[in-house]
Every structure is written in C-alpha cells, then in structure tokens.
Amino acid sequence: MDHQSLNFSQRLIAWQRAHGRHDLPWQNTRDPYRIWLSEIMLQQTQVSAVIPYYQRFLARFPDLQALAAATEDDVLAHWSGLGYYARGRNLHRAAQLIVEQHAGIFPRDFDAVCALPGIGRSTAAAICSFAFGARQAILDGNVKRVLARHEGISGFPGAKSVQDQLWQRAETLLPEADVESYTQGLMDLGAGLCVRRRPLCRVCPVADTCVALRDGLTERLPSPRPAKVLPERETTMLILMNQGEVLLEKRPAPGIWGGLWCFPEALGDGVEGVAQRVGVELRSVVALAPVDHGFTHYKLRIHPMLGEALRQPRAQEPGLLWLSLDDALGAALPAPVKRILAQLQRSLVSPFSLQAAG
C-alpha cells in the first residue's frame, strides 16, 4: 500500500470513529444473519426507509432457521413495499440453501457467501467484513461515487471498464487492519458527505487528496448513465369483487412481481376472457383511472377495470384467492396493486361508485 492509500484509509477510519454512524439496528453485532438481511435490504433502498422494514422482518423471522422454514408468501408479504422483490425471493432461497448445504450456519468463506442467491461481490465483502472481520473491498453505489471523485475516475460506473478501475482502486486503498471501521467509513462518507448533489467537501476527511475537488469536477463525477428513453408499456387488470371480497391471482416466477399476488391481467383476451379464465360471470364492469408505475427499464401504465362478479366459483383454483379488502392488503402485493386496493378500501360507499376514468 502506497503512502497516499495509507493516508486515505487512516483518515477515513479516524473520521468514522468520531463522526460516523454507530447505532443503526444492524450495527454492534457479529450475527451474520442480521448483517446479511440489512445488506440485502439496503441494496437500492435508503437507510431511513429500511429501518422499519428491517425491524418488522426480524420480529417475524428472528433467525435464519425461521426464515428458511417460512413460506414464500409470508416472506414476500413482509417484504411488500420495499420493492425489487427478487431480493426477498433470493433471501428466502439463500436461507433454505444454508440450511441444506451448511447445516444452518451462515458460511464464513467469502466464495461460499458469493455463491448464495442475491449476493454479489460487494455485498459478500460487507457481510464478511462486519460479521467475521474479513479483509475484503466493497464497491456499492455510494462507494463508487466516493472513489470516482477522490480518484478522478470518469465514465459511467456501470460500464465494465470503469467498474474494473474502481475495483482496482478499492482493493489498493483497503487497509491491513481496522477493515470494519474503514468499510463503514466509506459507506458513511458516501451516504452523508459525498452525496450526489452538493457534496459537503468542506468537512470531508479526505478532501485535500480528492481529484474531483481539486479539478472542480465534484458535480460531474461520477459520470451519469448515458441518456436512454424508457419504453412505455400498458396492461389491463380486472378487479373482480363479490360480496366484499376481491380476487387475487399469484404471479408466476420468475418474472415481474413473480410470486406476488395481483389482479388478474388481461393478456390479449379482454376482461371477458379474464373472467372466463378465472371461472366467474361478470354482472358489470367500469373503467377506473389509469395507474402509472415505474420500473428500472420501462414505464408501466395499468388500466384497472372494476368488475362485479355474479358469483364466486365453487372450487378454489390453485393460484387464485378470494379475500376481504383487509386481508388482501396484508398479502404480498406489488406497490401499484396495494395502492388500488387501498383506494377501494377508503371509498366510503360501495366500490362500484368509485369515479371511473375519463
């Protein structure tokens, strides 16, 4: 390690101990289950949003064995609202694999951790660092921003050539000791000072060696993702009601919202085709206002059609559930489906008097 790298890591460690975060719910523990859960939840989600979900999830699944023994529906219901549901499915599957392959004990070996579903190189490094004191470099979104600015690395961090440069610097800057404080310091620096807009360079512990600050590039690094117009898609969903209950259908996995409960979707066969597929007769149908939802790679416009079912089918088909609105809101639902159901529940009179679209 060169002198600059030593200087960087030592100052970051000292700053973290004096000014960093020390009282988050997943800190001050060596329990790999709790650390792993927090790292998965923190992927693409801010700390303030994660904390209440983390606490509720732990109350329901206090250890790895409880998570492995749970049903996917139960796990996804407790994940509902966090988004990126593949994280919840991977977490559940990984817990089952740890029980099957590692006797229920979270593996200490870095490669074994990397091999678990939903755990990449950086997440595995954070888990092994905080749980086992392992010397492994991390490179999450915040750390990419810190290193791109401090080291003056231009280019979109998602590009492989840029990411390779960032990993090389992450490995070089890694100290020989106090890796946990250093790793937490990188995370704290990226979350609190070296933020996306208007970074607080004045109080940054490594500002005097920062290339972006020296060259006036803090607002331009890291380089943004190349502009791309998101495609737009549309779908029609049928909200079937019968005697105060609503019909939900389980989405196939893998796929968008895989494993979650949703309104039946019209896939080119119209609402009558949907009704026939799920075995109900329709008495009336009204179009509600469209609902927009954004994904990473496209925008989705949902056209909800509220239908009154003449009767429920006698035989309950697998993958279909009739639930009260209260019970439906407690199921594992995609965010826009939960919004629509909440609107139905808030209506003071019959759902069929809700304002129609147009």
Q: Which residues are catalytic?
A: 39
Which residues are 232's β-sheet partners?
299
CA atoms in the 13 A half-sphere facing the CB of 83: 12
Contact at 8 Å (CB) between 147 and 168? no
Of 54, 93, 58, whose CA–CA distance to 72 is shortest? 93
**Integer CA distances (angstroms), 249 to 5, 32, 276, 321, in order:** 55, 35, 14, 7
Q: How far apart are CA 33 and CA 62, in angstroms?
A: 9
Amino acid symbol at 128:
C
**Integer CA distances (angstroms), 36 to 86, 94, 103, 128, 190, in order:** 15, 11, 17, 9, 20
Q: How far apart are CA 119 and CA 230, in angstroms?
A: 27
